[in-house]
A = this chain, B = another copy of it.
Amino acid sequence: MKMDSRFSFEVLCQSEDGARRGKLKTPHGTIETPAFIFCGTKGTVKGLCAEQLRSCGTQFVLANTYHLHLRPGEDTVAALGGLHAMMDWHGPLLTDSGGFQIFSLGQGSVAQEIKSHRTFNGPRTLIAIEEDGALFRSYVDGSLRKLTPETAMAIQKKLGADIVLPLDECTPYRVDKSYTAASMARSHRWEMRSLDEFQRLNDGFQALYGIIQGGIYGDLRGESCEFVGAHNFFGQAIGGSLGGSSTEMEDVVSMVCEKKERTKPTHLLGIGSIPHIFHGVRNGIDSFDCVHPTRLARHGGALLTNFKSDGRGHINLRNCRFARDNSPIDSDCDCHSCKSASRGYIHHLLKSGETLGGQLLCMHNVRFMNALMERIRDAIGRGGTASVEELYLA
């Protein structure tokens, strides 16, 4: 890929534990890495307006091509000025290719596998995976849709995010090595077609990441790292199945990070628990995304350090023990929620079905993640992330 001056990635320093601090420049601003990317699935981070996201120190937001393609449609987003203008989010944006949702919503997710739901009872919206692309049904109106590497690029061009991803098959965990190898090879062919189409459409305002596949198999992951490293992708994302347990996931991430090309910004797709972030950072991951902070908020959960939450990493404010708790979610947090609302008030709002409860929690969880990443970046400059990990995971 021609390195356009609107995009650049620079590693500023690396600590002994392997973590690196960097600057990722996009047309909508420069992201300090390692960074957390918040999920604005359907064009909004659940319950928060862009101003609130900014006030929480948010750098980077992700939106889902699959959802936005089905509703309101990329032409409508374009008519509303593109994703940045539509969402009033004028900072860096990333869109995925739609692949993850087609496969995870269409045939059951990796999480469902891990939780031993052997049979997937959701509507099977995935119709067929062909060489050309993926056939699926719209969950909005039941219509038949086809996403190809080329249409995924065209849709993302209309959405207008800064960083875009190629169509890939998100390989499930339950498949065997030969399926994973064949799927990876097809994803590579799709990525090459995506790169061609991207370059044909590119006007310098978007950058394309390659996706590293290969499931849990070291040789396949190595092959995929080589593939993505050898081609003109601006950055790289680690996708596909990372295994069936937390330990296996960390092993796969370590393995991939050893083999990955080192000058490209590297994103770890869909991972965002605190221990995994520390592990990823030490392996040279530059960005993370996960619905966890915002989804947890919708279910009443407030992120806290293990120390403050008796080791669980969060507290659930729906619990009756918080009914008369007049303290803030976290007395050390500087977010608007912690400055203005007590745990007892949020408990009341959640119990009463008032949306403000989830909003206040969402704001706190977003600020919590941003503060975590700020501390991690700071610590990298000062030698290593161990002191921060102790603060969060003690």
Contact = CB atoms under 8 A, between A and B. Distances in A.
A326 B51 CA distance: 19
A292 interface: no
A342 B47 contact: no
A30 to B, nearest CB: 23
Nearest to A356: B44
Contacts of A355: 46-47, 355, 358-359
A359 B326 contact: no
Interface string A57-91: 00000000001000110001001110000111000
Interface string A31-52: 0000000000011101111110
A374 to B, nearest CB: 23
A331 B351 CA distance: 37
B51 A348 contact: no
A46 B341 CA distance: 15
Contact of A344 (B50, B72, B358, B359): B72
A349 to B, nearest CB: 6
Contacts of A44: 349, 354, 356
A360 interface: yes
A43 B349 CA distance: 8
Nearest to A326: B80
Interface string A337-353: 00011101101110110
A177 interface: no
A340 B43 contact: no
A67 B349 CA distance: 12
Contacts of A46: 354-356
A43 B348 contact: yes
Given A49-B356, A86-B345, A345-B86, A79 B326 contact: yes
Contact of A345 (B87, B342, B360): B87
A46 B355 CA distance: 7
A80 B355 CA distance: 20
A342 B48 CA distance: 16
A70 to B, nearest CB: 10
A47 B86 CA distance: 21
Given A72-B348, A355-B47, A359-B49, A341 B88 contact: yes
Contacts of A360: 49
Contacts of A174: none
A249 interface: no
Nearest to A349: B44
28 contacts: A43-B345, A43-B349, A43-B352, A44-B349, A44-B354, A46-B354, A46-B356, A47-B355, A47-B359, A49-B340, A49-B359, A50-B340, A51-B336, A51-B340, A71-B348, A71-B352, A76-B324, A79-B324, A80-B324, A80-B342, A80-B345, A81-B326, A86-B342, A86-B344, A86-B348, A88-B340, A355-B355, A355-B358
Interface of A: 42-44, 46-51, 67, 71-72, 76, 79-81, 86-88, 323-324, 326, 336, 340-342, 344-345, 347-349, 351-352, 354-356, 358-360
The 6 closest A-B pairs by CB, nearest first: A88-B340, A79-B324, A72-B348, A80-B344, A355-B355, A42-B352
Given A49-B356, A88-B341, A355-B359, 7 more contacts: A49-B360, A50-B340, A51-B336, A72-B348, A80-B326, A355-B355, A359-B359
